[in-house]
Structure 1
Amino acid sequence: MKLPALDLLPNRPVLVALGGLGLLLALAVGPVSRAIDAQAEIAAARDRLARAQAASTRPPQPAPLTAPDADALLAAFRARLDGLAANRAVVIDAANYEPDPAQPTLPRLRAYLRGTAEGLHGLLHALETEAPLMAVEAADLDVARAADEDGGRPLVMRASLTVRGVQLPPPPPETGGRAP
């Protein structure tokens, strides 16, 4: 059986129009999909820009307590405690350095203090909010002496604090400009 020639078909203009429409759709899909991808990338970039702008308006975080070695870190911790206790009713009984084998650059620093509840509260608040920043890992509070209303003596408390300091790693050895 022989097929009729295309020029004899009555639907030839419709077939040509559908073929042209299909070609136009095929050509339009590429730019449209690239435009949709570009729109998603622009939205992500705007989100990153908004987060960066918000971060730039925040005040900088205070630096943590750092020192190059254990003795310097303990001395800096003790000096920080002495400075904070000077304006408060707080006495520093002891300050110790305790290395942490699991985190060698974040040793524990322990302090044993006595003072009024207000003095200890103010010292703890200053440790956690003022530079150099120290996060209190553990704190034990106990009554050292009860208040004496008749004698006018305030309540005296004992506090045992554990904070983390940052021990800076030693600088890399000098190679004199040569590769090791």
Structure 2
Amino acid sequence: MMRLPDLALRPLLVRLVGFGALLALGAGAVSASLDASADIAIARDRLDRAQARAARPDAVPPLTGTDGESLLAAFRARLDALAADRAVVIDTTGLDPDPSRPDLPRLHGSLHGTAEGLHGFVQALETGTPLVVLEQADLGIDRPADAEIGRPTIMRLVLTARGVVLPPPAPRRTP
């Protein structure tokens, strides 16, 4: 037995239930949209970082050796290769162990040459492969120029750099 007021409320209740269902569906869609937006922002950030890493120049390896003697030989070979193309002569090279950092000994070199030759030499030393990072460079005049006979100024360069002594490779284990 239905009463008249109950029949009048039914369409209103059906509408309210329908509106609630639509509201729940809309909230779910908005929530999914916000989650997707956050995922897109994270993916864009990762893409930007990956593109920045790809745009960076490759790292230049440092001057290395397995021990002090091989490191000094590599340093001398690097200096010889750079001096061959310039008006530079290598006088001496040496290695001083650093007790506080045994894997990074100091390398010393004494050279002489023209100002242009030494400038190009130092620039190539610091930018080429393998990378040699200078800690100290003292530049002075070894012999002044003589305009009458056309002799250029000869400069002396004493430099200190660091090399890297690599640890011996770990023995391979066989199963």
TM-score over 0.5 for the pair: yes
Residue ranges of structure 1 left out of the alignment (5+ in a row):
1-5
Amino acid at match of 2:137: A
Please name the residue that 2:34 is paired with.
Answer: 36
* Equivalent position of 1:94 in the other structure: 92
Which amino acid in structure 1 is aligned with residue 127 of structure 2? T
Q: Deviations over 1:17-48 (max 9, x none)?
A: 77875675566445534432332332232232
Q: 1: CA distance between counterparts of 2:169 and 2:78?
A: 25
Please name the residue that 1:104 is paired with: 102
Separation (CA, whole Å) in 2 of partners of 1:61 and 1:91: 29
Partner secondary structure for residue 110 of structure 2: strand
Aligned to 2:134: 136
Cα deviation for residue 119 of structure 1 reads 0.8
Partner of 1:62: 60
For the residues of structure 1 that align with 2:24 and 2:101, how far apart are their CA atoms?
Answer: 60
Please give the root-mean-square deviation of Cα atoms over the aligned residues, in Å. Answer: 3.1
Structure 2 unpaired stretches of 5+: none
In structure 2, the CA distance between the partners of 1:28 and 1:108, relative to structure 1 (3 Å rule), is: farther
Q: Structure 1 residue 120 and structure 2 residue 118: aligned?
A: yes
- Partner of 2:165 in structure 1? 167
Change in Cα spacing, 1:172 to 1:18, as seen in structure 2 (3 Å) is same
Aligned residues: 171
Distance 2:167 2:28 in 1: 54
Corresponding residue number in structure 2 for 1:152: 150
Q: 2-side partners of 1:17 and 1:141: how far apart?
A: 91
Aligned equivalent of 1:47: 45
Equivalent pairs: percent with the same residue?
58
Task: String of CA shifts for 1:59-94, please: whole Å, max 9, x gaps.
Answer: 533322222111101000001101111221212122
> How does the TM-score come out when normalised to structure 2?
0.77
Supply the distance in 2 between the matched residues of 1:68 and 1:162 (Cα, whole angstroms).
Answer: 20
